[in-house]
Structure 1
Amino acid sequence: MNSVSSIVRKASRFIYPSRIFCNSSINSDEPLKVTWESTEMKCEFDEESCGNVRRRFIESSKLYATRILDTLQQDCPGFNTKSALDELNVEISSLVVREVLVEILRTLSIDNKSRCAKLAYKFFVWCSEQERFKHTSNCYHLVMKIFAECGEYRAMCRLIDEMVKDGYPTTARTFNLLICTCGEAGLARDVVEQFVKSKSFSYRPYKHSYNAILHSLLGVKQYKLIEWVYEQMLEDSNGFAPDVLTYNVVMFANFRLGKTDRVYRLLDEMVKEGFSPDLYTYNILLHHLATGNKPLAALNLLNHMREVGVEPGVIHFTTLIDGLSRAGKLEACKYFMDEMLKVGCTPDVVCYTVMITGYISNGELEKAEEMFKEMTEKGQLPNVFTYNSMIRGFCMAGKFKEACSLLKEMESRGCNPNFVVYSTLVNNLRNAGKVLEAHEVVKDMVEKGHYVHLISKMKKYRRS
C-alpha cells in the first residue's frame, strides 16, 4: 500500500457540582430511622442552606472588595496603605482578591496604568502577608495580566520568578500571558528560551514540557518559534523524542509558513519513527491540498483515509470546503458537501457558514440565502459569523433593509452581534450614503451598552 506522503504527492485545523456531607448529632439511645422520604427532605434542606451560605459568601466578598478598592484609591505620598487595609478587618479569600484585581484591570487606561500596576501589586503583597491565606495561580495570572496591560515587562518576569520560588506550577496560562505580551515587545524568543532551559513548564495533558510549549506557541501563532523549539528538542541530551502531537504542531507551523516540502519531510520522518498519521495529521494535509486548489488529490486522500481505517469527519470536510472556497472553487465545495452527506456526516454550523461565506465572496447571494434557509430548516442555528456573512452579502447587493432586518433577527434569536457585525453594517450604510440609517444602528448599539469603547474604530465615527 502506498504511503500517505506518496499518495498526496502523486495526486497533487488543525482547529458546581458538589457533594454535601450532612453532619448531624445522633443520640445513640434513639433508634436510627432513615426513610426515603426523610432523606429526600433532608437533602433539599441542606441544598437550600448551602445555597444561602454561598450567596452570603459572594455578597460579603463583593462588599469586602468594594471597601478595599475605596482604600486603595486613597493611596498617595504620606498615606500608609498597608495600615489602612489592616484597619478594614476584612476576611481575605481568593474571590475577594479576584474581585479587586478584575476591577483594577477593568478601570485601567492609558492615563492611570502606572498607578494601577502599583496598586495591584501593593494589594497582592498585602494579601500574601495575611494569616491563613495563600494566593492561587489565578491570582498571580491576574496580576501578570495587569502588568502586561501596563507594559511592566520586568515586573512580570520578577513575578514569574517569585511564583516558581513559592512552588506554583507555571502552566499554559502563564506561558501564554508572557509570550503574547513579550511577543509584542520583541522579546518572545528570550522568554521561550528561558522556559526551555528551566524545564519547569508543565501542563497536564502533555507528557513533557516541549509539547506544552509547542502547543502554546501554536495557540498564539508563533510559527517561527515553533521551528526553533523543535530544533532545541532534537538537540536536548535528556532524550526528549517527538510524538504524533509534536509532528502535527510542527507540520502545521510549516504549512502556515508556506514550507510545503518541509511538511512532507516531517510526514515521512513521522512514519519512519513508527507513528501513524491521526485525524489532525490528515486535516493538515487536506488543508494544504484544498488551499492549493487540488480537489482530486484531496479526494484521493479521503479515500486513502478510509482504506487505513480513519473515517473522515465533519472537520475534514469543512477544512476541504473552506480551502476550496478560498480558491473560488465553489462547485468543488458543493461536491464535497454532497459527499459528506452521502457518507452520513452531517454538516454543522461551521460547515454551513464556510459555504455561505464562499458564496457571498463570489457574489452569489441567492445561493447563500438558500444555504442559510437549509441550515435553519435542518436545525443548525446560525452563529454570529453566519449572520455577519449574510449581512455583508446583503450590503454588497445594496439590500440594506434586509441587512438591518437580519440584525434584529439575530438579536431576537439570542445571538448577540459582535463588533464586526455592527461595523460591517454601519460602514456599508455610510458608504452608500445612508447616514441616518447608520446613525440609528450606532444609537441602538450604544443604548444596549455594546462596544461603546470601540465606536471610534468605526469609519467616520468618534465618541462624543
Structure 2
Amino acid sequence: MIPGAHLPPLRAARALSARLCPSQHLCSEGSRNGGESRRDTLQSNGDGILEGEEEVKGLDAGHFRPEMLLRLPPPGGPPESDDDDGEDLSPGHGSRRWFFEDVRLEADRIFRILLQDGPGFSARQALDEMRPKVSIKLMREVLFRILVSVDSVNRERYPKLAYRFFVWAGQQEGYRHNTSTYNLVMKVFAQCGEVKAMWRLFEEMAEKGLPVSARTFHLLICASGQVGLRRRLVERFIKSSTFRYRPFRNAFNAILHTLLTIEQYSLIEWVHQKMIFEGHSPDVLTYNIVMRAKYMLGKLDQFHRLLDEMGKNELMPDLHTYNLLLHALGKGDKPLAALNLLNYMSDVGCVPNVLHFTNLIDGLGRAGNLEACKYFFDEMVKKGCEPDVVCYTVVIASYVAAGEFEEAQRYFDDMLVRGQLPNVYTYNSMIRGLCTAGEFDKAFSMLKEMESHGCTPNFSVYSSLVSRLRNAGKDSQANTVIKYMTDKGHYLHLLSRFEGYERC
C-alpha cells in the first residue's frame, strides 16, 4: 500500500513540473526493473508488437494503445460531422418530417438514375427530365448513398458518378455548392484512392473563395501519405485566409489537433515550431497537443521543458494536462508522485474522474506495478468514481500481461456484477489470458460467448487464438476456430493469412 501523501498548493505548472517530474524516481520502492519495464523493451512492427518470439497482433498485446486513452476531445462542442455545415438533418415533427422524407425519396430516385449511367443511357438527360429541386440537403443525401455503397468492385466507377452529379447540380439555377458538399465528394474520392481528384476539388474551392474547414484538411492530409506533401499541405492551410475551424481559436491549433488524431507526432513538432516562429502564442490546448506528441515520441526531457514553459507563461494545466501527467507518472512507475498529483488536483478544484484513474492505472500496468494498480483502483471506488468498461479492461489486461489470470478473472467477474458489459478489448485480453494458462477450450467458449453478448470478435481475436493453438500443437482446434470464423462470415478477405488452411 502506498503511504498517504499531500502536495502543498502550487501556483503554476512550473512548480508542478519541478516537484512531480524530476529526473529521479519518486516511488518509495524504486523502479522495479532499473527504470525500464519489460513492455518498453518490446520491438514494434507494422502489425502489432513482438512478445519474445511470438507476434501478438493489435490489441492482443495486452493494453489499449495509449492514444486511445489519451485522446483530446475538441473543446467547444463535439467533433465535426462528415456534413460539416452545422445543419440538423433529423426528421423532427410534422411538416418538417414529411419534407425530409420527400428529400430521401428523391435522393433514392437520383441514385438509381446515376447507377444506370452508361452506353445507351444518359443520367444527365434523365436528371434534366426529372427536374429535382436541388438543395444542400438533397446533395448530401445523394452523395452519402454513393459513399456508403463504395466497395472493391465499384471503387473506380463511383467517383465518376459522384462527380458527374456534383457538376450537374452545380449548374442548376438557384443552387450553389458549399464546403459541406465539396467535402463529401472529396470523401468519396478519398475512399476510392483518387488523390489527384481531391486536390483538383480543393483548388476549385480556393478559386471560388469557399471557406475550407477542418474536415477538408483532415481528408487531404490523410490521403497525402508522403511527409513532404503533408508539410506543403500544412503550409498551405496556415497561409490560407479561408481556412476555418470553428471549435478552435486559431488555425494552428486546428491543424495540430487534426495531426494528433492521425498520430503525426513529428509533424506536430514541425507545426509547433512554425507557430512559434510566426509569433503566435500557444494556449493550453497547444501545450496539451505538443506535450502529447513529445510523450508519444519518447522525448520526455522536452515534455518536461514544455510543462515548465507552460507555467512561465502563466497557463494552468487543465483536465487533459493532468490526464497525460498521470499516465506518464504511472508508466514511469512513480505511484507516490501520482498520489501527490491527485491530491493537488483535488486541492485546486480539478477533481480526478474515472478517466484520470484509468490512465494512471494503465501506465502503472505497463510498468508492471500491479500492487499500485490495485491500490488506485480501490482508491477510485472509495472516492465514488464508478469504474467503467475501459477501466476494468485496463486492469484486466495488466494482470493478464503479468501472467496473473486468476486476478484478471476476479476483475472480469466483478465487472459483470457491477453491470458493465465487456467490449472487444476486454474479451481480447481474457482470451489471451486463457490461452496463456492453457485453457484453450474455455478460450474458444469465450469467443462464442462474445457473439451471444452482441460483441463481434475482431480479426486479432481470431488470429491470436489460432496462433496460440498452433504453437501448442493443436492444429485441429485452430482449424475449428477458422471454420467458426468463416461460418459466421467474418473477415473472409483475410482468410489467406492463415497459412496452410484449406476450406472444405
Give TM-score, length-normalised by structure 1: 0.82
Shift of 1:138: 3.9
Contiguous gaps of at least 5 residues in structure 2? 1-8, 27-68, 72-88
Q: Provide the residue aligned with 1:169 in structure 2.
A: 211
Out of 274, 279, 301, the residue aligned to residue 232 of structure 1 is: 274
Q: What secondary structure is seen at the aligned counterpart in 2 of 1:312? A: coil
Larger CA deviation: 61-70 vs 149-158: 149-158
**Alignment pair present for 1:396 and 2:441:** no
Question: Which aligned segments of 4 or more residues in structure 1 are displaced greater than 6 angstroms?
Answer: none
Structure 1 CA distance, aligned partners of 2:252 and 2:100?
A: 41
Tell me, in whole angstroms, the C-alpha distance in 2 between the residues paired with 1:386 and 1:273: 42
Match in the other structure for 1:70: 116
**Contact 2:479 / 2:501 at 8 angstroms: preserved in 1?**
no
Q: How does 1:1-80 map to 2 (within 5 A)?
A: 1-2=9-10, 3-10=15-22, 12=26, 13-15=69-71, 20=93, 46=94, 54-55=100-101, 57-71=103-117, 74=118
1:367 corresponding residue in structure 2:
407
Amino acid at match of 2:239: K
Question: 1:420 deviation in Å?
Answer: 2.5
Looking at structure 2, the residues matched to 159 and 222 of structure 1 have their Cα atoms a distance apart, in angstroms, of 24
**How much does 1:218 deviate?**
0.8
Displacement of 1:162: 1.7
Change (3 A) 1:106 1:50: closer
Per-residue CA shift, 1:415-439, capped at 9, x if unaligned? 2322333333344344444445444
Summarize the alignment of residues 67-216 of structure 1 with structure 2, pairs less than 5 Å apart.
Answer: 67-71=113-117, 74=118, 82-83=124-125, 85-87=127-129, 92=134, 94-95=137-138, 98-99=141-142, 102-103=145-146, 106-109=149-152, 113-184=155-226, 186-216=228-258
RMSD of Structure 2 on Structure 1 (CA): 3.0
What letter matches 1:247 in structure 2? Y
The one of the two structures with greater contact order (alpha-carbon pairs below 8 A, sep at least 6) is: 2
Q: CA deviation at 1:128?
A: 1.8
Alignment of 1:233-312 (within 5 A): 233-236=275-278, 240-312=280-352
1:313 alignment partner, one of 338, 353, 364: 353
CA positional deviation for 1:5: 1.0
Larger CA Rg, structure 1 vs 2: 1
TM-score (norm 2): 0.76
CA gap of 1:8–1:144, structure 2 versus 1, over 3 A, is: same
- Aligned partners of 1:456 and 1:133: how far apart in 2? 49
1:424-462 per-residue CA deviation (whole Å, 9 max, x = no partner) reads: 334434444444544444444444443333333445558
Give the aligned partner of residue 34 of structure 1.
none
Seen in structure 2, the aligned counterparts of structure 1 residues 128 and 271 have a Cα distance that, compared at 3 Å, is same
1:349-379: CA deviation from partner (whole Å, max 9, x where unpaired): 1111001011111111111111100011012
TM-superposed CA distance for 1:279, in Å, is 1.3
Deviation at 1:217, TM superposition (A): 0.9
Change in 2 beyond 3 A, CA 1:329/1:463: same
1:345 matched to which residue of 2? 385
- Kindly state the Cα deviation for residue 255 of structure 1 after the two structures are TM-superposed: 1.1
Check 1:242–1:349 CA distance in 2 against 1; reply closer, same or farther (3 A cut). Answer: same
CA distance in 1 between partners of 2:101 and 2:227 (Å)? 43
Correspondence for 2:376 among 333, 336, 351: 336
- Preserved contact between residue 209 and residue 242 of structure 2 (Cα < 8 Å): no
Q: Measure the CA separation in 1 of the matches of 2:179 and 2:392.
A: 40
Change (3 A) 1:231 1:185: closer
- Please identify which structure carries the higher helix content: 1
- 350, 363, 385: which one aligns with 1:323: 363
Sequence identity (%): 51
